[in-house]
Chain A
Amino acid sequence: MPGDTAMNATVPGFAARVVVRRSGRSSAMFRFIRRNPEIAWGGFLLLVVAFLAVAAPLLGTVDPRAISTADRLKPPSAEHWFGTDMLGRDLYSRVLYGGRISLSIGVSAAALSAFLGSVIGLLAAFGAFMDAVVMRIMDGIMSIPAILLSIALMAVAGPSVENIILAITIVEAPRVARLIRGVVLSLRSQPYVDAAIAAGSSMPRIVVRHLLPGIVGPLTVQATFVWAMAMILEAALSFIGAGTPPSTPSWGNIMSDGKALWQVKPFLIFIPAGFLSVTLLAVNLLGDGLRDLLDPRLSKRI
Chain B
Amino acid sequence: MLIYAIRRILLAIPVMGVVALVVFGLLYITPGDPALVIAGDQATPEQIARIHVSLGLDQPPYIRFGTWIGQVLRGDLGTSISSNQTVAHMIDQRLEPTITLLLLAVLLSVAVGVPFGVAAAWKKGKTADRALSVFTTAGFSIPVFVAGYALAFLFASTLHWLPVQGYAPLSEGLWPCLRSLILPAVTLSLVYAAVIGRVTRAAMLEVLGQDYIRTARAKGVGPVAVLFRHALKNAAVPVVTIIGIGIATLFGATVVTESVFAIPGLGRLTVDAILHRDYPVIQGMVLLSSAIYVLINLAVDLLYTVVDPRISY
Residue positions of A touching B, CB distance < 8 A: 37-38, 136-137, 139-148, 151-153, 155-156, 228, 232-233, 235-236, 239-242, 255, 259, 262-263, 269-270, 273, 276-278, 280-281, 284-285, 288, 291, 297-302
Contact = CB atoms under 8 A, between A and B. Distances in A.
A248 B14 CA distance: 41
20 contacts: A142-B248, A145-B251, A145-B252, A146-B252, A147-B251, A148-B271, A153-B26, A156-B30, A233-B252, A236-B144, A236-B253, A236-B255, A239-B143, A255-B143, A273-B143, A277-B142, A299-B206, A299-B209, A300-B125, A301-B125
Contacts of A142: 248, 293
Interface residues of B, number: 59
A155 B31 contact: yes
Interface of B: 11, 14-19, 22-23, 26-27, 29-32, 122, 124-125, 130, 133, 137-138, 140-146, 149, 153, 157, 198, 202, 205-206, 208-209, 213, 217, 248-249, 251-253, 255-256, 259, 270-271, 274-275, 282, 285-286, 289-290, 293-294
A281 B141 contact: yes
Contacts of B23: 144, 152
> Closest 9 interchain pairs by CB?
A299-B209, A140-B18, A280-B141, A145-B251, A147-B252, A143-B290, A143-B293, A281-B141, A277-B141
Contact of A235 (B143, B270, B275, B289): B143
Given A239-B259, A263-B153, A297-B206, A140 B274 contact: no
B144 A143 contact: no
B274 A284 contact: no
A280 B248 CA distance: 21
A85 to B, nearest CB: 17
Given A240-B256, A284-B140, A143 B251 contact: no
A139 B252 contact: no
Given A147-B251, A148-B285, 14 more contacts: A136-B15, A143-B15, A143-B289, A145-B251, A145-B252, A146-B252, A147-B255, A147-B271, A148-B271, A148-B289, A152-B274, A236-B144, A299-B206, A301-B125
A240 B144 CA distance: 12
Given A156-B29, A255-B143, A144 B19 contact: yes
A158 to B, nearest CB: 8
* Residue among A153, A240, A241, A255 with max Cβ neighbours from chain B (10 Å): A240
A145 B248 contact: yes
A266 to B, nearest CB: 9
Contacts of B27: 152
A142 B18 CA distance: 11
Contacts of B213: 302
A147 B145 CA distance: 15
B29 A301 contact: no
B32 A262 contact: no
A236 B252 contact: yes
Given A233-B252, A273-B142, A298 B275 contact: no
B145 A155 contact: no
Nearest to A147: B252
Highest count of chain B CB atoms <10 Å: which of A137, A242, A259, A302 = A302
A299 B294 contact: no
Contacts of B138: 277, 281
Nearest to B272: A240
A285 B198 CA distance: 12
A134 B299 CA distance: 23
Contacts of A228: 140-141
B143 A276 contact: yes
Nearest to B207: A299
A278 B137 CA distance: 10
